[in-house]
């Protein structure tokens, strides 16, 4: 399901579209929400939010909903645990935004994480720490710490454009239901034409961004076209799609539409070609 929100939509209006996905994750189903669009289209503001409570974005609102749902389960005797990771995909490499060792302004000096696939198709992330969150404030603190470390750069459209894909993931483990579900909340890097950086020297960076968006488009199209008839989905083409695989398309051996929920917020439809 896709959603296009006009400029008059409030943060609350936008979040109302995604509440069912968050609720479903609390019941044991993987989910994925991503914001796509050109630099300056308001993706990061929509995902993270502004400075006041009313302007908080999708991630803070999702965190609040998860902890409210967890509290309801606990009042009924349930045993629910919440944890989070915060990753950055930059130049098709995966980094932990919550790693205190990743303090250098040069992301090339950061420690790389990796996506590993088990024999059963399960995914693990080596070098990406998962932090327990006992309270809503714990998860929010992780969000703010990671956001401050995200790679930014100047483009002709925006002085502080996000030059990486940011993936904040909430894990919900329910002992009674014997489920472990994850919700990926993704702020994609702004799509740009080659050479859009003011310094004129970031064409490789732009190519990597556009290429990963192209691969994401391929995956979404393959999932759409294969809804009735199974077909190959090219998850392994890049780090971003590999990381999101079990939330975009469900677990192997089970019908995708029954195991994942995908929704994307976009400023315009996926183009046929990027760049």
Torsion from C-alpha of 16, 252, 121, 222, nearest 10 degrees: -70
Tokens of 52: 């006041």
Q: Which of 225, 237, 224, 232 is nearest to 252 (CA)?
A: 232
Judge whether 77 is annotated as a binding position.
no
Judge whether 190 is annotated as a binding position.
no
91's CB contacts (< 8 A; 6+ apart) are 107, 204, 205, 208
Judge whether 28 is annotated as a binding position.
no
Please say whether the beta carbons of 256 and 235 come within 8 A: no
Judge whether 49 is annotated as a binding position.
no
Judge whether 37 is annotated as a binding position.
yes
How many Å separate Cα 123 from the centre of its chain? 16
DSSP 48: T
Judge whether 169 is annotated as a binding position.
no
Give the CA count within 13 Å in the CB-facing half-sphere of 143. Answer: 26
Give Dmax over CA atoms of the chain in angstroms: 59
Judge whether 39 is annotated as a binding position.
yes
Locate all alpha helices (DSSP H) within 193-255, ordered by sequence: 203-225, 239-248
Q: Are strands 2-3 and 260-266 parallel, antiparallel or unpaired?
A: parallel
Judge whether 41 is annotated as a binding position.
yes
Residues in the annotated binding site = 37-44
The annotated binding site for ATP is made up of: 37-44
């Amino acid at each position: 399901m896709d959603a296009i929100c006009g400029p008059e939509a409030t943060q609350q209006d936008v979040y109302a579209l995604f509440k069912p996905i968050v609720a479903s994750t609390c019941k044991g189903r993987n989910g994925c929400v991503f914001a796509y669009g050109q630099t300056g289209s308001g993706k990061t503001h929509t995902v993270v939010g502004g400075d006041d409570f009313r302007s908080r974005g999708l991630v803070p609102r999702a965190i609040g909903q998860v902890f409210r749902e967890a509290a309801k389960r606990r009042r009924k005797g349930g045993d629910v645990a919440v944890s989070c990771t915060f990753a950055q995909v930059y130049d098709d490499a995966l980094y932990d935004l919550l790693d205190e060792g990743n303090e250098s302004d040069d992301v090339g000096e950061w420690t790389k994480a990796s996506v590993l696939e088990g024999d059963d198709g399960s995914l693990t992330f080596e070098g990406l720490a998962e932090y327990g969150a006992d309270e809503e404030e714990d998860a929010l603190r992780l969000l703010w710490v990671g956001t401050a470390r995200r790679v930014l750069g100047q483009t002709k459209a925006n002085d502080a454009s996000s030059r990486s894909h940011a993936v904040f993931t909430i894990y919900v483990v329910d002992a009674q239901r014997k489920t472990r579900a994850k919700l990926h909340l993704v702020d994609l890097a702004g799509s740009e034409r080659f050479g859009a950086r003011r310094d004129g020297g970031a064409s490789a960076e732009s190519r990597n961004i556009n290429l990963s968006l192209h691969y994401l488009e391929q995956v979404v199209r393959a999932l759409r076209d294969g809804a009735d008839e199974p077909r190959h989905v090219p998850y392994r083409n890049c780090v971003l799609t590999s990381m999101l695989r079990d939330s975009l398309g469900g677990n192997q051996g089970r019908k995708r539409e029954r195991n994942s929920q995908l929704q994307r917020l976009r400023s315009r439809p996926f183009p046929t070609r990027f760049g």
